Amino acid sequence: MDLVQLQRQLVEYRTSLYHEGFLDEQYTQLQELQDENNPDFVVEVVSLFFEDSERLLNELTKALEQQSIDFKRVDAHVHQLKGSSSSIGAQRVQKVCIAFRNYCEEQNVEGCLKCLQQVRHEYSLVKTKLESMFQLEQQILSAGGSIPM
């Protein structure tokens, strides 16, 4: 495939992610940090994020299924999720997390469940987006090209 076209596609895709608010500067900062010493830094961090998020989401689901909900725990989990999502720049997840925490403070079960759904949704969205982007990058790399910044 045409390498240049691939590269352009990647750039466009990434820009669209920024535009649609899936990612923010923080992701850019992550990319900055990637260098020869840590060639797969972004992928590493993002997969870390995926793992962590899935764990947290499971925890949250469990916690919210409970008869008497421990809102402190839920809040702690959401806080973690918020922290990790903001660190990779998944800002839509982060935003939902903020709303989630508000509901937690109000001890609003309905809102929490709604937010959990939203978080799941956003998370899966950002996950697919990022994964497809990484695939693109992989393609470029395998084609012998460099990833444009």
Partner 1 sequence: MAEKSFETTSQACCSTSSESSPILALPMDTPLRKVLSRISGFASSWGKKTVTAPRGRRIFHRDVEQDEFQNGSAHCLSSYYSVFVARLAIMVMLAILIGLLTVLTWHFTRVYTTKSLNTLAYGLRYELLQRPILRMWNVLNSTSEITTAQVKLSEYVIKRYSKPTNQAELIELYQMMKDITWALFASHKALNAITINYRNGFVQAFHRDHRSNNTFYIYSDLANYSISDTQSSQQGWNDQFIHGNESAIWYRQPLDPVTGEKQGKPSQIPPEDLINIAGPSQVPDGVASWHVAVSKYTDSPLLSAALPVRDASNRSIVAIVGVTTALYSVGQLMKELVEVHSGYIYLTSQEGYLLATSTNTPLLNNTANGPKLMMATNSEDRVIRMGAQWLQKTYGNKFPPGHVVHVEKANLGGQHYYIDSFFLNLKRLPMVGVIIIPRKYIMGKVDERALKTLVILISASVCILVIGCVCILILTNGVSKEMKLRAELISHLDARRRAEASSNYKSQFLANMSHELRTPMAAVIGLLDILICDDCLTNEQYAMVTQIRKCSTALLRLLNNILDLSKVESGKLVLEEAEFDLGRELEGLVDMFSVQCINHNVETVLDLSDDIPKVVRGDSARVVQVFANLISNSIKFTTSGHIILRGWCENPIVSSDSGKLSPDQKNPLSALKTKLKQHGNHMKKASKKDNKMILWFEVDDTGCGIDPSKWESVFESFEQADPSTTRTHGGTGLGLCIVRTLVNKMGGEIKVVKKNGQGTLMRLFLLLSTPADGIEQQRRIDFAKHGVAVILALHGSMGRLIMSKWLSKNGVPTLEASEWNELTQILHELFHARTTNSGFDTHYSLAKPLRSKVQTLQDMKNPVYIIVVDLGLLDLSTDIWKEQLNFLDKFSGQVKFAWMLNHDTSNAIKMELRRKGHILMVNKPLYKAKMLHILEAVVKESYVEPPNGSPNGTKGTSKQGDSHECLEIDSSQFETCSSDDSDISEMTGANSASSVGVGEQLKEGTVLKSGPPTLRNCLVEFTRLGLEVNNLRTEEDQCNGRPKLHDTKDVKCENPDSSEQPSVRSNAKDRDNSYTTNKAANEQKTLEGLRILLAEDTPVLQRVATIMLEKMGAVVVAVGDGVQAVEALNCDLDRDENRTNRLQTEICDSPPYDLILMDCQMPMMDGYEATKAIRKSEERTGWHIPIVALTAHAMSSDKEKCLQVGMDAYLTKPIDYKLMVSTILSLTKRSP
Is the CB of 12 or the CB of 25 nearer to partner 1?
25
Q: Please say whether the beta carbons of 85 and 53 come within 8 A.
A: yes
**Rounded Cα distance, 103 and 44, in Å:** 32
| Min CB(1)–partner 1 separation in Å | 26
| Min CB(33)–partner 1 separation in Å | 5
Q: Please say whether the beta carbons of 86 and 26 come within 8 A.
A: yes
Return residues touching partner 1 (CB under 8 A): 24-26, 28-30, 32-33, 35, 37-38, 41, 44-45, 48-49, 51-52, 76, 79-80, 82-88
| Min CB(83)–partner 1 separation in Å | 4
Q: Which contiguous run of DSSP H or E holds residue 121?
A: helix 109-142
